[in-house]
Amino acid sequence: MMKLLYLFILLFLHICVPIYAQMPIQTTQANTSKDLIFIKKVRIKEPVQVSADRYGNIFIADKNGTISKYKNNGDSITAYSPAIRANITLLEAWATLETAIFYQENQELVIFDRFLTFKQSIKIDDTMAGFARLATLATDGNIWIFDEVDFSLKKYNTRTKTIILHTPCDLLFQKKEYNLLFIKELNNLVYLVDKNNGIFLFDNFGNYKKNIYIADAKSVFIANDYIYALQNNKENKENLKNSNNKISVNYVYNNINNIITQYNTPIAQNYKPVDYELVAVSDNNLLLFTKNEMYIFKMK
């Protein structure tokens, strides 16, 4: 009898755990709305990835593979142009001393110093992943990888050349429904950002914590404990002249005061809607990117 009861409990957990894992955890949220103050507009070349370091410097990768570094006021500092053009899948500069570039097509993670001088290249081979959908530096100098073949989050030790953490993700979301944007480790948390399912949070040991669902996000940027999500503007085109482009900010890890703040871009005379594609944050400046411009706003 006890054996039958034990088998029943195992069957129940097998059915319920996958369902629970896919459900976003709901938290109490207060909603506020604030206006942004326009500072400056900078001409740039067709950005595909953006990042920022702890000192407020801005990094922009364009479609030709060039990486440009700017001050947070928009002044240009330096740039790196590759000898061979390649599509940049991920750009991460938060570590300050190192900037990581992942090329999915080449299965290669390239590390630069803070002056965008080449340091090393790490090829993702079959001992690390069947096919790396995303890869980035961990805070301890190792590598986080999302393996598309076995659908898992992995941590690779660059010194011992072994996989030291392995978290299957097939119970978190369906393979056919995912569209991963980037992966980032920050403050002992690993953020796996999916366009369709929101953000999956893990601790730095690869243990799954929860899912934060963000609807209609075009671009997501994570800084400190904040998630900045550039969301699609669903306003009727006829009303765009009198409406703002909106960006939502979700404060994640203060469950007592967990808030969503919606920032509104200012409406000028003869206002024309701006189709923002990417979002980033540098110090107290919020940056919005179009196909050929960077808009710098001050957050109140």
Within-domain flag for 3: no
- The lowest-confidence range among 13-27, 53-67, 160-174 is 13-27
What was the pLDDT predicted at 46?
A: 94
Of 140-144, 203-207, 244-248, which range is least confident? 244-248
Q: Are 252 and 188 in contact (CB under 8 A)?
A: no
List the structure tokens of 121.
């290249």
- Cα separation, 99 vs 113, whole angstroms: 6
Specify if 7 maps to a domain: no
Answer yes or no: is 13 within a domain.
no
Nearest CA to 205 out of 170, 173, 166, 158 is that of 166
Q: How far is CA 76 from CA 43, 97, 115, 195, 229, in A?
A: 11, 19, 12, 31, 26
Q: Is residue 15 part of a domain?
A: no
Has residue 194 been placed in a domain? yes
Q: Name the pLDDT band for 258 (thresholds 50, 70, 90).
A: low
Domain count, the chain: 1
Instruction: Write out pLDDT tens, residues 28-38.
Output: 455 778 888 99
Residue 194 pLDDT > 70, yes or no? yes
Tokens representing residue 136 in the block: 């980035």
Candidate from 4-13, 121-130, 142-151, 174-183 with smallest mean pLDDT: 4-13
Contact 163, 169 (CB under 8 A): no
Per-residue model confidence (pLDDT) at position 271: 53
245 found inside a domain: yes
Q: 3: which DSSP letter?
A: H
Q: Which domain covers residue 281, as residue numbers?
A: 29-299
Mean pLDDT along residues 186-195: 91
Q: What is the mean pLDDT of residues 191-216?
A: 89
What's the mean per-residue pLDDT of the chain?
81
The rounded percent of the chain whose pLDDT value lies above 70 is 77
Kindly list the strands in the beta sheet with 180-186, ordered across the sheet, starting from the edge strand earlier in the chain.
Answer: 180-186, 189-194, 198-203, 208-212
Q: Place 17 in a pLDDT band, splitting at 50, 70 and 90.
A: very low
Tell me, what's the pLDDT at 273? 66
Domain assignment of residue 1, yes or no: no
| Positive or negative: CA dihedral 123, 146, 222, 60 | positive
Look at strands 132-137 and 118-123 and give their pairing.
Answer: unpaired
Domain of 54: which CATH number?
Answer: 2.120.10.30
pLDDT at site 237: 36
Predicted TM-score (pTM) of the model is 0.83
Rounded mean pLDDT, 71-87: 91
Q: Which two tokens stand for residue 167?
A: 């978290």
Point out the least confidently predicted range of 81-95, 117-131, 170-184, 276-290.
Answer: 170-184
Specify the pLDDT at position 260.
Answer: 77
| Candidate ranges 15-29, 97-111, 232-246; pick with highest mean pLDDT | 97-111
* SS3 call for 39: strand
**Better-scored residue on pLDDT, 231 or 290:** 290
pLDDT in tens, 88-126: 999 999 876 899 999 999 999 999 998 999 999 999 999
Residue at 35: amino acid letter: D
Q: Is residue 236 part of a domain?
A: yes
Q: What is the pLDDT of residue 97?
A: 84
Instruction: Give the pLDDT confidence score for residue 147 in this predicted structure.
Output: 97
* Stretch among 102-111, 254-263, 269-278 having the lowest mean pLDDT: 254-263
Contact yes or no for 157/144 (Cβ under 8 A) = no
- Tokens found for residue 8: 């029943």
Determine the Cα–Cα distance for residues 112 and 66; give it in Å rounded to an integer.
13
SS3 category, 256: coil
- For residue 259, the model assigns a pLDDT of 67
Residue 284 DSSP symbol: T
